[in-house]
Amino acid sequence: MSSHPLTDYTMAWIDWLLIIFPLMLILGIGLYTRQYMRSVADFLSGGRLAGRYLLAVARGEMQAGAVVFVASFELISNSGFSMGWWSWIQFPVWFLVAISGFVIYRYRETRAMTLAQFFEIRYSRSFRVFTGILGFGAGIVNFGIIPAVGARFIAYFLGFPPTITVFSFTLPTYIPVMGGLLSITLILTLSGGLITNVITNCVEGILSQILYVVIIIGLLQMFTWPEMNAVLSDRPAGQSMLNPFDSMGLKDFNLWYVLMSMFVAVYGTMAWQNQSSYNSAALTAHESRMGGILSSWREMGKGAVMTLLGVCALTYLSHPHYAMQSVELQRELSQIADPQIQRQMEVPVALSHMLPMGLKGALCIILLMGIFGGDSTHLLSWGGLFIQDVIMPLRKKTYTPEQHIWLLRISIMGVAFFAFLFGSLFHQTEYIFMWWQVTQGLYIGGAGAAIIGGLYWKKGTTAGAWSALLAGSTLSVGGIIARQIYGDQFPMNGMQIAFAATLTAITLYVIVSLLTHREDFNMDRMLHRGKYAALISTHEEEVLPTTKGHVSWGRLIGFDENFSRGDKWIAGSLFGWGVLWFVVFLIGTIWNLVVPWPEAIWSQFWHVVGIGIPIFVSLVTAVWFTWGGIHDMRDLFRRLRAQKIDPLDNGSVCNHQNLDERRVLAESGELGGSPAKGK
């Protein structure tokens, strides 16, 4: 890097142009898509017509908001590259889950719009209502901090004053910023539901991928690896940011965190309903699975810019070369009274000071688009869940489509209002990742067992589901209360609480189901297989997976008859990528246990593996997913124009079947048998 000071941290005219033009484009697209929304299924699930690339890019934008950047920066600031080494343990597991379509394939086959709707199909209406209430409560509390963290990031990043005075009342600046951002998000979400969300999020994702490349190039011109390495190397023994075998002294983000989070995440696959609409939006179950596989590739590319931004910010904060520039930065941070918020905003404030003209505007619009994409998905998911799984099952008469959509919009506005109040009043004491783990555990702690058991085990019973859900939720709630009362004095962090709740729920689900099982559940009817396949529309028909015939490597990793040659290349390369880094992990671990690498070797290793390779993946995915996203957006509009609307396809369930399917069976004279006893 050159020796002159970095650019002034105020916004320049080009930065504002980079922000305003994309925002106007997104709002225009959002209003345009409203005309395609004609039914409840359109509003909640995009008509179930989305292709794989559209899903991968749009759903990925949910993970590009300011709160995700802040959470990632917290992790990088505490562990650097060390935890990246241990995370490779997870690679084969994650990719097997994605390729096999674990949970999401069968869930899409049920045609449920929400997870609790599936629970009514599989278990009972009362279980649906309870999980709807529990999931909604846990969801809005989990979501409650997200708009606030995002607004703080934007306020500090743009250099706004900490407080403002309105009618003699002094408010933290982030509160009106949060209100403005939520208002824009509401306009997008209320206009066309998921149809608007999936298109605007895809456009946002495409623009973000291009800007990621611009930011990466700029950062590599500003900072050198020797500068980054000097900061990362300057750590006490046992807390290395480069050598994972000298990082066991890290308090929260360590090997045990990785192992527990992997187990909890696999167990809770698709359980958390913050993106429930995307789970039901795919054209077919196979497209849903391929969307998940492609998402894994895209997330690897996006991770490059988050890592590089975090490491460069740490360099700016701590390297002697930038000591003069850091004086003003530290003065600004010292004005934040809350120590947890001060730690959260350390990297955002550093980025505000260090990024030059152009790059600052590029990062700001990425963050804003991520906020709109993430918050709109949350609003639609939690607002829809309340109407679909709490209000509707308790009502004897169904709503008209117009009434139903207006209720969904009112519920979404209520969620936004709650998030505004919660974010304004709640005092956060946890790392963001830890808070997410604990609040998700409120629901996932017990729901994961009910989901996996319900989709894959015909002997699972309603009693087993109830016991797992109540036990997992109770333990998680108790953990939250204890953490709030005792803080760091409580012996378990958020991840450990979630892990304990998960193990308890699994055990209870299996034991209670075996004790109360009376008759096997009709899985073919629920999954629309065999004679029940006629209940689904033509565009959803697929070749059913089979295990007959010879066993091949493809079958072992999850390939079935629905995989084309191109699909196999995409999925196979993803699995091979995971296996490659798992092998590197095994060889490197054995090597270091016998002959430890010096820190200089670890520095060279992470320069290539932690910076170079992710940047290359980011460049490839920018081109790849731009083409795929545009292609799938065009196809979605074509399908929406041609689709036939069924007003009964609204999430209602009758006698363990979707209401529109009951009509088809009634017309054909082939109504299914009564549900199994004890379910």
Note whether 248 and 336 are within 8 A (CB): no
| Cβ atoms < 10 Å from Cβ of 23 | 15
Confidence of residue 548 (pLDDT cuts 50, 70, 90): very low
- For residue 250, the model assigns a pLDDT of 61
Q: CA angle, corner 36, sides to 31 and 42, nearest 5?
A: 110
pLDDT tens-digit readout, 562-585: 888 888 898 888 888 888 888 998
Structure tokens at 174: 């982030």
Question: Span 98-112, mean pLDDT?
Answer: 83
CA distance 281 to 271: 16
The contacts found for 349-353 with CB under 8 angstroms, 24 or more apart, are 349/156, 349/157, 350/313, 350/314, 350/316, 350/317, 351/157, 351/309, 351/313, 352/9, 352/156, 352/157, 352/158, 352/159, 353/6, 353/9, 353/316, 353/325, 353/328, 353/329
Confidence of residue 104 (pLDDT cuts 50, 70, 90): confident
CA distance 232 to 651: 52
CA distance 293 to 102: 11
- For residue 184, the model assigns a pLDDT of 92
- Reduced 3-state DSSP string for 77-123: HHHCCHHHHHHHHHHHHHHHHHHHCCCHHHHHHHCCCCHHHHHHHHC
How, if at all, do strands 163-166 and 169-172 pair?
antiparallel
For residue 58, give the nearest of 159, 214, 204, 257 by alpha carbon.
Answer: 204
What global pTM score does this model have? 0.79
CA distance 499 to 437: 9
pLDDT tens-digit readout, 235-261: 888 788 888 888 776 655 566 777 777
Structure tokens at 516: 């109360």
Question: Span 455-475, mean pLDDT?
Answer: 91
What amino acid occupies position 381?
S
CA distance 225 to 217: 14
Confidence of residue 122 (pLDDT cuts 50, 70, 90): very high
Q: Is 4 exposed, middle or buried (0-12, 13-18, 19+ CB in 10 A)?
A: exposed
- For residue 649, the model assigns a pLDDT of 78
> 612: Cβ–Cβ under 8 A, 6 or more apart, which residues?
none
CA distance 543 to 549: 15
At residue 388, does pLDDT exceed 60?
yes
Mean pLDDT of the chain: 82
Note whether 254 and 248 are within 8 A (CB): yes
Q: CA angle, corner 126, sides to 122 and 131, nearest 5?
A: 80
Confidence of residue 8 (pLDDT cuts 50, 70, 90): very low
CATH placement of domain 13-429+520-542+573-652? 1.20.1730
User: Following DSSP, what letter does each residue of 270-294 receive, concatenated?
Assistant: TTSGGGHHHHT-BSSHHHHHHHHHH
Alpha-helical runs (H) found in 158-250: 174-222, 225-233
CA distance 532 to 280: 19
**Higher per-residue pLDDT: 545 or 266:** 266
Question: Span 306-312, mean pLDDT?
Answer: 86
